[in-house]
């Protein structure tokens, strides 16, 4: 046969939609799924698009259905499964063929696989947008060898989301660079979702608003500076009614969220890179605390849990979200810049912002301004850009009021308060680490630098006393 443009392994939620997207754009796709009945059912239900799909029962069939040099996309769970599928598939591939891991791999695994790759090339791409994005246009963050990108670019840009005629698919560097960008995307996604959840909590518990009314507020905010996919769906989620009980849907959903890995990886890698991503860290920790639902019940029984009403206006809560969002994205792009330097990836930060403008979960109007700001000054913290500095200056009093009110009245707002702590730290030239350095020198003779002299190895008077 040998006439498929591309192969795809894994016809789950993401893989099946990506395959349909490729077929719709005119590519012939050879598809394989571990469970063969799923492959058959998938092609049978593909309607007209079935003409562009070739169902394969084995990796051997798959390899022989694709034009050489072959490219095969994997859409299977990350980790050992990717290694196993790659090994089994490689037995049927030839020199110059390529495996494109499109799952949420840890970028260190992708680095390893790229390093181990011999005859078969390895590419790692992050795909965001969920099932809908995969079907109609995801945001695609690619990494690997530049020639691998050159080969895959026509297909990836054709299936990607489109922002004003610009495809939301781009290449960000060697090895696991694409998967790294996807992890940071997901870290920001966690943070954005968390600050929205905190705003919801203040409206529900602090202002006593019903879910439907909160939905209306999010819908209104979605027409302003906060316009984004996440603000929009938060409005829809809050406004929805449970068809079984007639209650507000949100009021019957258990307040317990898990985390699959990418948000956690972002927080872990941030520590390696000395990147202060405090809002993302707070969001990951908040999900972990949400899972401790029984312990939280015990805490409420012991200490009392009901927070007091707050005297905040909706404008203040909106402003807090605007400031929190700018600060969280500032941290995320700073982390990407640090990774680019540390791993010598030469990542184009403005292009990352551009790829996130459409198709992905964190898509928002603000990302267009962020792309502009990063294009003008890629080495500057995003919040120092004139436009964002002004927006931050205007919205910061609201973040401060919301943080103050949350603390005084007992509302947990760990991500919003982390954002404020970051801001207050990053606008002070004279901080408090002189005390840390004094302590370190006292107990460990680590030495310190002085404000008034050059040199690194000064000691305090306590050294001579010990």
Ligand X SMILES: NC(=O)c1ccc[n+]([C@@H]2O[C@H](COP(=O)([O-])OP(=O)(O)OC[C@H]3O[C@@H](n4cnc5c(N)ncnc54)[C@H](OP(=O)(O)O)[C@@H]3O)[C@@H](O)[C@H]2O)c1
Interface residues with ligand X (CB under 6 A)?
10-15, 33-35, 38, 75-78, 81, 85, 103-104, 127-128, 130
* CB nearer ligand X, residue 10 or residue 174: 10
Is 260 annotated as catalytic?
A: no
The 3-state DSSP class for residue 148 equals helix
Cβ count within 10 A of residue 272: 10
Q: Smallest gap, in angstroms, from Cβ of residue 77 to ligand X? A: 5
Q: Where are the alpha helices (DSSP H) in 410-459?
A: 414-426, 433-444
* CB nearer ligand X, residue 171 or residue 265: 265
Q: Smallest gap, in angstroms, from Cβ of residue 327 to ligand X? A: 26
* CB nearer ligand X, residue 78 or residue 238: 78
Q: b/e map of 114-140 (b: 16 or more CB within 10 Å)?
A: beebeebbbbbbbbbbeeebbbebbbb
Please tell me which residue in 24, 67, 80, 182 is annotated as part of the active site. Answer: 182
CB nearest ligand X: which residue? Answer: 12
What are φ and ψ of residue 225, in 5° steps?
A: -60, -25
Q: Smallest gap, in angstroms, from Cβ of residue 262 to ligand X? A: 8
Q: Smallest gap, in angstroms, from Cβ of residue 183 to ligand X? A: 11
Q: Smallest gap, in angstroms, from Cβ of residue 250 to ligand X? A: 21
* CB nearer ligand X, residue 39 or residue 228: 39
Please tell me which residue in 121, 175, 189, 354 is annotated as part of the active site. Answer: 189
Q: Regarding beta strands 166-167 and 162-163, do their DSSP bridges make them parallel or antiparallel, or are they unpaired?
A: antiparallel
Tokens of 373: 């700001």
Dist CA 439 CA 92 (whole Å): 61
DSSP 230-295: HHHHHHHHHH-B-TTT-SBGGGGS-S-----SHHHHHHHHHHHTT---HHHHHHHHHHHHHH-HHH
- Per the DSSP assignment, residues forming a β-bridge with 143 are 124
Is 132 annotated as catalytic?
A: no
Q: How long is the chain?
A: 466
| Catalytic sites, residue numbers | 182, 189
């Amino acid at each position: 046969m040998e006439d498929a443009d591309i192969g795809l392994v894994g016809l789950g939620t993401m893989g099946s939609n990506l395959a349909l997207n490729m077929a719709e754009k005119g590519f012939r796709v050879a598809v394989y799924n571990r469970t063969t009945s799923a492959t058959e059912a998938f092609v049978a239900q593909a309607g007209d698009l079935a003409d562009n799909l070739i169902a394969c029962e084995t990796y051997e069939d798959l390899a022989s259905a694709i034009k050489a040099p072959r490219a095969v996309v994997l859409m299977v769970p990350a980790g050992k499964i990717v290694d196993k599928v790659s090994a089994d598939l490689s037995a049927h591939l030839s020199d110059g063929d390529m495996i494109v891991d499109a799952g949420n791999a840890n970028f260190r695994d992708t680095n390893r696989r790229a390093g181990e790759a011999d005859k078969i090339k390895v590419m790692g791409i992050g795909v965001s947008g969920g099932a809908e994005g995969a079907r109609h246009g995801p945001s695609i963050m690619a990494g690997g060898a530049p020639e691998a990108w050159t080969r895959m670019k026509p297909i990836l840009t054709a299936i990607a989301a489109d922002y004003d005629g610009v495809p939301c698919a781009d290449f960000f560097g060697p090895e696991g660079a694409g998967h790294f960008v996807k992890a940071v995307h997901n870290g920001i996604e966690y943070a954005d979702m968390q600050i929205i959840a905190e705003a919801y909590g203040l409206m529900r518990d602090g202002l006593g608003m019903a879910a439907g009314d909160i939905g209306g507020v999010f819908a209104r905010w979605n027409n302003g500076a906060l316009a984004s996919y996440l603000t929009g769906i938060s409005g829809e989620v809050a406004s929805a009614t449970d068809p079984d009980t007639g209650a507000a849907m949100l009021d019957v959903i258990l307040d317990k969220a898990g985390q699959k890995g990418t948000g956690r990886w972002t927080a872990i890698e941030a520590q390696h890179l000395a990147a202060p991503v405090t809002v993302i860290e707070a969001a990951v920790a908040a999900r972990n605390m949400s899972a401790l639902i029984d312990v939280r019940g015990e805490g409420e029984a012991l200490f009392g849990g009901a927070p007091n009403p707050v005297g905040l206006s909706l404008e203040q809560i909106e402003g807090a979200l605007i400031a929190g969002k700018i600060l969280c994205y500032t941290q995320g792009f700073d982390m990407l810049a640090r990774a680019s330097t540390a791993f010598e990836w030469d990542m184009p930060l403005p292009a990352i912002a551009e790829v996130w403008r459409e198709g992905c979960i964190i898509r928002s109007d603000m990302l267009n301004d962020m792309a502009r700001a990063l294009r003008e000054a890629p080495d500057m913290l995003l919040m120092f850009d004139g436009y964002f500095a002004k927006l931050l200056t205007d919205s910061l009093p609201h973040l401060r009021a919301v943080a103050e009110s949350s603390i005084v009245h007992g509302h947990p707002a760990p991500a919003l308060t982390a954002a404020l702590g970051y801001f207050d730290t990053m606008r002070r030239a004279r901080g408090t680490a002189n005390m840390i350095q004094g302590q370190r020198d006292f107990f460990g003779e680590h030495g310190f630098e002085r404000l008034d002299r050059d040199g690194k190895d000064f000691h305090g008077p306590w050294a001579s006393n010990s």
